[in-house]
Structure 1
Amino acid sequence: MTHIFVNVPTSDLERSKAFYTALGCDINPLFTDENAACIVWDENIFFMVLTKEYFATFTDKQIVDPTTHAQVLIAIGRDSREHVDSTIAAGLAAGGSEPTEPQDLGFMYSRDLDDPDGNGIEFVYMEPQAAEEGPEAYLTGLA
């Protein structure tokens, strides 16, 4: 089985734990301590939120400031447009920010959310036909 572990830095581990649990995530206590928290999105996707100091032990590269530099863009699928909107609302209420306007391409709807440290996550809903057959097949079916 494939699992995805995304490591993101934080300047305040407790704040990050509160933020991600407000989005509906769980925390795996077996992999959580004063340096890191294992944020469970589902049975295959996890964020390891690491203190900046601990994060730096995993690389010799300079750690960028996520409030001013983009290192990666993480997209997580939701099961409806409403689920995208409710996730963003929960994130905003928990101290996140929405750096861009929502994007509606007809076959795909997405909104971006920055966590309190500036790490960006995009929440996306894609129409099932577009996901299976490609966006043109979906858009052609609307004509």
Structure 2
Amino acid sequence: MPRMIFVNLPVADLPRSMAFYDALGFVNEPKFTDETAAAMQWSDTIVVMLLTHAKWHQFTDRPITSDGSSSLRLCLSLDTRDEVTEMNRLAGEHGGTADIDPPTEYPFMMSHAFADPDGHIWEPMWMDQAAMEAGPPAQTDA
């Protein structure tokens, strides 16, 4: 079995969250979806598990925060700059909040963060593959 990542997110409204992630290109895996949870697959090795608050609390007693704080930022790689911009736009049109921070823009990469309907922060990004293989650019003294 390949190594995989399952990102578990508590959500206030499961159908709304499923529709949001579907609009961004995630695909529902019905074998792992019911009225309390939904598996939304990004790739063969990345799955976002959307959990109702009741389901979330079956795993932990820790509180679910909704105060706008930032403790986690999930980054997804995309193939082009345009896809990054488009995902941010779609997030805003489907119940999330686009442009939560100014875009990060360099000649070799760019990213553009948004929040889902429950405030979970995502940062789609593009990086030039050749630049990635070459390593970080040299630092200059200011």
Asked if structure 2 preserves the Cα contact closer than 8 Å seen for 1:25 and 1:40, the reply is yes
Partner Cα distance (1:13, 1:2) in 2: 27
Deviation by residue 1:1-53 (Cα, 9 ceiling, x = unmatched)? 11110001110000000000001111000110111100010111110010112
Q: How does 1:123-138 map to 2 (within 5 A)?
A: 123-136=124-137
2:115 corresponds in structure 1 to 114
C-alpha displacement of 1:113: 1.1
Partner Cα distance (2:65, 2:93) in 1: 26
Partner Cα distance (1:15, 1:68) in 2: 19
1:69 corresponds in structure 2 to 69
1:100 aligns with 2:101: yes
Structure 2: any 5+ residue segments left out of the alignment? none
Partner Cα distance (1:79, 1:64) in 2: 33
Structure 1: any 5+ residue segments left out of the alignment? none
Q: CA RMSD in A?
A: 1.7
Percent of counterpart pairs with the same letter? Answer: 37
Deviation by residue 1:69-108 (Cα, 9 ceiling, x = unmatched)? 2231100000010110111121111111121111102221
Local SS of the residue matching 2:131? helix
Local SS of the residue matching 2:113? strand
Partner Cα distance (1:94, 1:35) in 2: 21
Aligned residues: 138
Partner Cα distance (2:32, 2:65) in 1: 24
Partner Cα distance (2:137, 2:38) in 1: 41
Letter in 2 for 1:114: A
1:59 corresponds in structure 2 to 60
- TM-score in terms of structure 2 length: 0.90
- TM-score in terms of structure 1 length: 0.90
